[in-house]
Structure 1
Amino acid sequence: MTPATSPVRVPLVTRPMGIWASLQTSRRNVLGIIPEIATRQPMVSGRTGKRWHMVMDPEAIRRMLLEQLDIYPKSLVTKNLLRPAIGDSLFIAEGAHWRWQRRAAAPVFSHRNVMNLGPVMTAAAERSCERIAAAGPRAIDMAADMVRTTFDVIADVTFSGDGSFDAGAVHNAINDYIGEAGKISLFDILGFPDWVPRPGRIMSGGAVNQMKRIADQAVEARRARGPQGVPDLLDLLLDGEDPETERRMNTAELRDNLLTFIVAGHETTALSLGWALYLCAFDQQVQDRARTQAQEVLQGRAATAGDIEHLPLIRQIIDEALRLYPPAGIISRTAMAEDTLCGREVHKRDTVMIPIYALHRNHLLWDDPDAFRPERFADRKAIPRYAFLPFGDGPRICIGASFAIQEAVIVLATLLSRFRFTPVAGRDPDPVMILTLRPEGGVWLEAEPMTPATSGAMASPT
């Protein structure tokens, strides 16, 4: 078998699909509804039950996410899908309700607070190395291990491991909900009103309600107990206050935002790391260069937050993984007024999508867009700002972006400094998006420990 020249990609549709074909395709892989032409055009429009547009032009995207934010709120489909699980948290809320929550939560993710959480990330990277070493020579699903690693981090930084909250049960409940409710309903494609129930979201609500009750109890227990030691995310949120109104989050608001951070705060980072490891195994030359850099900086110890500025290639690999496999492959908006994008009329209530997967592979914006080339990010100023959107942009850019990048660089640098990862024949992952772009089938790699003579592995931190 001839080795692939490019990493795995989603086969995009080359001819129009009707409602039934669109439903079947989207329930298996949402990205399958993106037309191939979207990787070669600034904007594509059509009608599948209701009128829609896909926008890949950076200036038009800037208008949607920055200049005319109120015209393009999150789509009704997105809100209906997620609100039962995470309420009117930062991810869902709009207008004044979103603005005050954002002002209250922003200090939680300040540079200092994120740096203070670095030791938790370093410790999780060490535990991942121990699991990989203990597995011996057999292949390992690194996607699954990265989920465990990043979940260790979010559980520790959210609740300081105090045992007051079963974070694993919360994660499983939300995953179960998304597994059923997250699949696009035929009602969504046909544009049925919001009040028409979506069956999957009704059937999966019981576990979510139980999860919310547990989370409420944990918030109230912490409110009564107060912080102990270095403040964790819950302490910081409890202390958070809108500087304009002096408003603080009540228990329900704290709970909804915590649930959002727990899921989003580890899912997206785990996916980025899983795909980054797949890409490093795909291109051994890039992996070797990255390992050399990591070993020179780390000298056998695990990476820390203070090392990140000295690991530019590791960061470039993370960015390129986010370009090729963005966790949120499509973001959807509902136009609330008449507008014009790329010279084309957009009508009120039209669905306007930014297919980030197609944007990141658009031939008008990227050279050889399907190729794995981390050096694209050596000069970030050369990349149009709204051509690369792994965390969104504008006022609603992901509040935890710096947290995610710090964690991903710490973990990837530590792993590459200690192991050589090689692919398992016939076990390539399949990029499939339901709510996030996951490597279906796992990322199965063989991990060869680097000897102390070449890596200085397992040396004590300095």
Structure 2
Amino acid sequence: MLDSPDILPVRVPLATEPLGVFGTLRAGRRNVLELIPEIATHAPIISGVTGKRWHMVMDPEALKRILRDKVEEYPKSDVTKLILEPGIGKSMFVAEGQEWLWQRRTAAPVFSHRNVAALAPVMTAAATRAVARIGGTVGRAVDVFDEMVTATFEVISDVTFSGGGGFDRDAIHKSIESYISQTAKVSFLDVIGAPTWLPRPSRMLSQSGVREMKRVADGAIERRKAEGGPEIPDLLDLMMEGADPKSGRRMTTAELRDNLLTFIVAGHETTALTLAWSLYLCAFDQTVQERARAEARGVLGDRAAVAADVAALPYIRQVVDEALRMYPPAAFLSRTARAADELCGREVRRGDTVILPIYALHRHHKLWPDPDRFDPDRFAGGYKGERFAYLPFGDGPRICIGANFALQEAVIILATLLARFRFDPVRGRDPKPVMILTLRPEGGVWLQATPV
């Protein structure tokens, strides 16, 4: 561990006084998590008015009500839809009601355990390439976040559009980065609850990148329909073959594109973040890293991990789970109440914004002992706490459809890297947790990698 046991991993400075409308706007554009009051790590619910009424919910029973029991009465907020729809349209991540349901039923078999395991060789190959790249940085600092973005983008683009004929990886990646950096920032109109039909100028800047992203994806889908797919089906093949078991409805090119772009945008970014934060935490606590490396080397020796190894790497999985607790990629969710309700004895009116601050939930003092401390043993034998106190992938019927895919990928890549390298922190270059669309390490995660 670093010099003193009292030193904790980097943490977001939560609000200690009311922000007001303009303070909320500044914090939201700088780091969405700075909108969370420090008291949220102790209280079950906090309410207020900033342009419109809002409630911040950290109570597991209330979260169960929002995410499972009354999920249709708490759809994604208007701001969430304004941010996401330009890039991923009416995909299952944004759609509501029956429009969501048929898409979910169609896509669920795609992410079965069998199909996810069949895609593992792509993850193993990406892990092997990451080892080679990081091996070339020995003697100097390496931004492991950048390396993990490269690795996970290779995975998601290969399992989505394998073969890559006509699929411009660089164009898609550039468009995604532009989309996240420009579209996802909170605007003044969002803060005051202005109608959704009023244009947000900052989001209009990214439209050319979004159009290019959709154009490239549409072209790849049409070529696949005309020319056929690879010998081993990828996600595009599986989605094209899929049909709603109730209605028989199949996805159009636009629906396929929006859902595949959802998988690409969400799938590579969130797993890259999980891996980068896991490596940061392992560098922060060398005792944990040595234990994880011993497990990885005991199972793998000098080879890269494969799907069959995942069950034999429980401590590596614990490190991943704890990284997801401390730095959840989807760290701040919001819903709009569709009907009057009551949460924790608090009145919720139709139209109120209901915020799920997953970052605060995962560091809540009544739910987690010493919550700011890095301790993978919290997850020894699997998570045993309250069901709705740990929500890295959400929960209820809208739980992340790709959770098993992401966890398999994270364990394969992390185990492969830890078996080959020792990672040490670079003094003075601690990452800064900043959330725009996801919880990113601003400035990167700079570590020193030494072969072992």
Residue 35 of structure 2, aligned match among 33, 39, 42: 33
For residues 192 and 186 of structure 2, what CA distance do their matches in structure 1 show? 11
Match of 2:231 in 1: 229
CA offsets 1:272-292 (integer angstroms, 9 cap, x no match): 000000000000000000000
Superposition deviation, residue 213 in structure 1: 1.9
Residue identity in the other structure for 2:239: L
Residue identity in the other structure for 1:251: T
Superposition deviation, residue 324 in structure 1: 0.3
Contact 1:171–1:262 (8 Å) recurs in 2 = no
For residues 145 and 210 of structure 1, what CA distance do their matches in structure 2 show? 25
Query: What's the TM-score, normalizing by structure 1?
Result: 0.96
For residues 157 and 347 of structure 1, what CA distance do their matches in structure 2 show? 44
Residue 189 of structure 1, aligned match among 191, 201, 206: 191
Match of 1:277 in 2: 279
Match of 2:53 in 1: 51
CA offsets 1:324-346 (integer angstroms, 9 cap, x no match): 00001101000000000011110
> What is the DSSP-based 3-state SS (H/G/I as helix, E as strand, rest coil) of the residue aligned with 1:380?
coil
Superposition deviation, residue 381 in structure 1: 4.9
Superposition deviation, residue 384 in structure 1: 0.9
Match of 1:417 in 2: 419
> What is the DSSP-based 3-state SS (H/G/I as helix, E as strand, rest coil) of the residue aligned with 2:47?
strand
After TM superposition, the structure 1 stretch with the greater mean CA deviation from structure 2, 243-252 or 201-210, is 201-210
Superposition deviation, residue 70 in structure 1: 0.8
CA offsets 1:387-440 (integer angstroms, 9 cap, x no match): 111111100000000000000000000000111100000000000000100001
Match of 2:307 in 1: 305
Residue 292 of structure 1, aligned match among 287, 291, 294: 294
Contact 1:155–1:161 (8 Å) recurs in 2 = no
> What is the DSSP-based 3-state SS (H/G/I as helix, E as strand, rest coil) of the residue aligned with 1:236?
helix
**Closer/same/farther in 2, CA of residues 153 and 381 from structure 1, 3 Å limit:** closer
Number of aligned positions between the proteins? 450
Residue identity in the other structure for 1:427: R
Residue identity in the other structure for 1:200: S
Match of 1:454 in 2: none
Contact 1:272–1:322 (8 Å) recurs in 2 = yes
Residue identity in the other structure for 1:50: K
Superposition deviation, residue 225 in structure 1: 1.4
Residue identity in the other structure for 2:347: E
Superposition deviation, residue 49 in structure 1: 0.8
Match of 2:356 in 1: 354
For residues 213 and 266 of structure 2, what CA distance do their matches in structure 1 show? 16
Match of 1:77 in 2: 79
Structure 2 residue runs of 5 or longer lacking an equivalent are: none
Residue 257 of structure 2, aligned match among 255, 258, 261: 255
For residues 131 and 3 of structure 2, what CA distance do their matches in structure 1 show? 32
Residue identity in the other structure for 1:311: L
For residues 127 and 216 of structure 1, what CA distance do their matches in structure 2 show? 29
For residues 140 and 113 of structure 1, what CA distance do their matches in structure 2 show? 33
After TM superposition, the structure 1 stretch with the greater mean CA deviation from structure 2, 160-169 or 135-144, is 160-169
Contact 2:165–2:220 (8 Å) recurs in 1 = no
Does residue 107 in structure 1 map to residue 109 in structure 2?
A: yes
Query: What's the TM-score, normalizing by structure 2?
Result: 0.98
Q: After superposition, where does 1:331-410 map in structure 2 within 5 Å?
A: 331-410=333-412
Match of 2:166 in 1: 164
For residues 116 and 177 of structure 1, what CA distance do their matches in structure 2 show? 31
Superposition deviation, residue 2 in structure 1: 5.8
Query: Quick one: percent identity of the two aligned structures?
Result: 63
**Closer/same/farther in 2, CA of residues 58 and 163 from structure 1, 3 Å limit:** same
For residues 382 and 213 of structure 1, what CA distance do their matches in structure 2 show? 45
Structural RMSD (CA): 1.1
For residues 76 and 28 of structure 1, what CA distance do their matches in structure 2 show? 20
Contact 2:138–2:448 (8 Å) recurs in 1 = no
Superposition deviation, residue 382 in structure 1: 2.1
Contact 2:326–2:359 (8 Å) recurs in 1 = yes
Match of 1:456 in 2: none
CA offsets 1:47-105 (integer angstroms, 9 cap, x no match): 11111011001110000000000110000000011101110001100000000000001
